[in-house]
Chain A
Amino acid sequence: MRAIKLTVLMLAAVVLASGLGFGEKITFWHYWDGANLQALQSLIKQYEEAHPGITIEAVFVPGAELLTKLQTAIISGKTPTIAIADLIAMPTLVRSGALIPLDEYIEQTDIDMNDFFEGPLAYGSYEGRFYSLPVSASNLGLFWNKNLFKAAGLDPERPPRTWEELVEFGRIIKEKTGKWGYELYTAGGEGTTWQWQVFLWSAGGEFLSEDLSAPAFNSEAGVRALQFWVDLIHTYQISPLAPWGLFGRGEAAMVMDGSWMTQFFPMQVNFELGAAPFPYPADGEPATNMGGEQIFIFKGDPDLQQVAWDFITWFTGTEIQVQWDRLTGFMPIRRSVAQDPAYIAWVKNARPLLLPFVESMQYARPRPPVPEYPRISDIVANYIQEALYGRMTPADALDKAAAEVAQLLR
């Protein structure tokens, strides 16, 4: 009798377990922290509630180490189901052969790829196939310190719109308050290169040739952009050669920084803050640089890949993206998000600092999606520094950088 009872009980348990038993778990590596992490966790919870039986284990990996970690995982075959990575890491990851192409899934699910902004999409495609989708975007703009503008007798609500005004306002601030006019990122590396690209593009230059096979920054526009930086430091003397962070401490009146800082600056600074599209030469064009993350699936169990794809379509869909961008302050990756009334209303009411960044998104340009980009960026930054420290003329520095980059791309 007891044995029968036990068998029945066990049978019931087995039936119950298999009934609920599509318990599938996907792992998701990312480097989002702070408010972004909380936003991600709440979205995942939302997804899990709507999809019982599916678990998404999100694992935080520090951003600086994510690529190392993914590379070791790829070598050992211990990859997560899905992961995100910075735009500029994508060409390396795509060429590793560890990601699955998404084209079939995209066709099956009938996703309107034209709704995505072209810039971020460029990073996920390789040899005519898509390997990743954008999940977040950011761009660069101008922040200014309204208190210093006031103290210098400038209109605190009127940011500079051109390079000429940037210099003019900067000089007035330096003269009247003794503080720096504009803070440049001179510490080298990608921080220097991606800021300089904005100046290069707005002067009408290109970073690489159109087919990405050769450097193009050692042009007239390139020299003009670099000469402008040198002049900011040595001729107008409104920018210092100093470690980054002066703007946050109120020691510099203007700075180029990212859309994400509309979240951080208000928590960190004790002055009134303004944000605007970045100034460009009077005879140039508006431009900004684009950052952000892409999401992708690793080769592995096809069932899990399908689950992962369902999650990705949900996550990159307009409805969730509106929530995501409102929670994180990331820029829209889809036109339908940028035009969404709820999103626009939120920006206007809750995060007005973000408005100029949303407007600049149309001028945002991607950095060249080549796997050599991190090394190219270092080379260019090194030679920019040579020019800033007066050891080379801008034209010389850019020619030398171009020679090294050309060799790398060959």
Chain B
Amino acid sequence: MKAKHFKKLLIHGLLLSGAFIAAMPFLWMITTSLKPPGKVYDAPLFVPLYFYWSNYVKAWSFAPFPRFFLNSAIMAIGITLSQTLLSALAGYALARLKFPGRNTLFFLILGTMMIPFPITLIPSFLIVNSLGWIDTYQGLIVPRAVSAFAIFLFRQFFLSLPRELEEAALIDGANRFTIFFRIILPLSSPVIATSAIFSFLFAWNDFLWPLVVTNSTRMRTIQVGLAMFQGQYGIFWTLLMAASTIVIAPAIIAFLVAQRRFVEGITTTGLRG
């Protein structure tokens, strides 16, 4: 009995210290965001002792953040929806349809993941510019509407689904689209959730592309807004951390919501364990 208690205590201790390490940057951020400017470097770093809520007010009024939030939300949701749908379609085709050059095409798609973004920055910008999409939502969304990584994710997941399900549907007279939308997608909530989390976080945190394709303050996104606190001449730590706390909240909420779906997905498909 005692040994059991001890084991439990040990496990909880380990889990708690792991959780603390994971939460540390966030605690530090929140603590700093509530400090008066002169105390930024003073202990304690992880427990707020000061409560300068005015930092949040100041940070919020530093730039047109409501507009930045709206822009980021439109961009992130647009990218998440299109990346998930288009990558799922592509992943399904690469996993199930037989056509010449399928594997070559798949490796080409994977290959694009090895090209660093700065190399394609200028050409992408020129294309978007010639389409007249500078300072528009389509300029922010369309160039990132598919993701090689998400295609890879979906393809690998679809390969793991039993073919028999689809064959049964085929015999019942379903066509490929019916199979995809009625059979495959409902079984795919774990991979949809995973892909959506990645897409949303990528879009929400993206900095360089939104900066390059927007020229006016009214089309800027929140990450560009955050850069206003990290100037050439110094960093406004307390304001930067206050703004970061505000900015990170939707990402955390999105993650928590998707995470529940994620777990549900695993339990309801009945394909695991």
Instruction: Give the segment of B153-161, B169-177, B230-238 that binds chain A.
Output: B230-238
CB pair B233–A267 under 8 Å, yes or no, is no
CB pair B215–A59 under 8 Å, yes or no, is yes
A163 to B190, CA, bound (A): 65
Interface of chain A residues 56 through 109 with chain B (CB within 8 A): 57, 59-65, 68-69, 72-73, 75-76, 78, 80, 86
CB pair B228–A270 under 8 Å, yes or no, is no
CB pair A248–B231 under 8 Å, yes or no, is no
Contacts of B215 in A (CB 8 A): 27, 59, 73, 78, 80
A249 to B39, CA, bound (A): 9
Contacts of B254 in A (CB 8 A): none
Residue of B nearest to A138 (CB): B233
CB pair A62–B228 under 8 Å, yes or no, is yes
Instruction: Give the segment of A29-37, A47-55, A147-155 that binds chain B.
Output: A29-37
Contacts of B208 in A (CB 8 A): 65, 68
Contacts of B38 in A (CB 8 A): 267-270
Chain A nearest CB from B42 CB (Å) reads 7
Contacts of B42 in A (CB 8 A): 270
Residue of B nearest to A77 (CB): B129
A261 at the interface (CB under 8 A from B): yes
- Contact among A36, A59, A78, A268 for B37, CB-based, below 8 A: A268
Instruction: Give the segment of B48-56, B105-113, B118-126, B241-249 that binds chain A.
Output: B118-126
CB pair A86–B232 under 8 Å, yes or no, is yes
Contacts of A78 in B (CB 8 A): 129, 134, 215
CB pair A263–B232 under 8 Å, yes or no, is no
Contacts of A263 in B (CB 8 A): 233-234
Residue of B nearest to A27 (CB): B215
Contacts of A76 in B (CB 8 A): 125-126, 129, 134
Chain B nearest CB from A69 CB (Å) reads 6
Chain A nearest CB from B172 CB (Å) reads 54
A32 to B227, CA, bound (A): 11
A269 to B37, CA, bound (A): 8
Knowing A72-B121, A72-B122, A270-B38, the reply to whether A260 touches B234 (Cβ < 8 A) is yes
A263 to B37, CA, bound (A): 12
Interface size range of chain A in the complex: 35 or more
A264 at the interface (CB under 8 A from B): yes
- Contact among A63, A69, A264, A270 for B39, CB-based, below 8 A: A270
Knowing A72-B212, A76-B129, the reply to whether A60 touches B232 (Cβ < 8 A) is no
Interface string of A21-32 (1 = CB under 8 A from B): 000000100011
- Contact among A62, A68, A138, A258 for B224, CB-based, below 8 A: A62
Interface string of B55-88 (1 = CB under 8 A from A): 0000000010000000000000000000000000
Knowing A57-B216, A59-B215, A69-B212, the reply to whether A31 touches B122 (Cβ < 8 A) is no
Contacts of B41 in A (CB 8 A): 245, 248-250, 268
B229 at the interface (CB under 8 A from A): yes
A163 to B134, CA, bound (A): 54
CB pair B134–A61 under 8 Å, yes or no, is no
Residue of B nearest to A68 (CB): B212
A263 to B231, CA, bound (A): 13
Contacts of A258 in B (CB 8 A): 233
CB pair A31–B232 under 8 Å, yes or no, is yes
B185 at the interface (CB under 8 A from A): no
CB pair B121–A37 under 8 Å, yes or no, is no
- Contact among B39, B125, B216, B232 for A59, CB-based, below 8 A: B216
CB pair B231–A33 under 8 Å, yes or no, is yes
Chain B nearest CB from A158 CB (Å) reads 25
Chain A nearest CB from B31 CB (Å) reads 16
- Contact among A36, A57, A73 for B233, CB-based, below 8 A: A36
Q: List 11 A–B pairs whose Cβ atoms lie within 8 Å, in order of A's numbering.
A: A31-B231, A33-B228, A33-B229, A34-B236, A37-B228, A57-B216, A63-B231, A64-B227, A78-B134, A250-B41, A260-B234
Closest 9 pairs between A and B when the two form their complex, measured CB to CB = A62-B227, A33-B231, A264-B234, A63-B232, A260-B233, A76-B129, A249-B41, A267-B37, A33-B228
User: 4 more A-B contacts (CB under 8 A) besides A72-B212, A263-B233, A268-B38?
Assistant: A59-B216, A72-B121, A78-B134, A269-B38
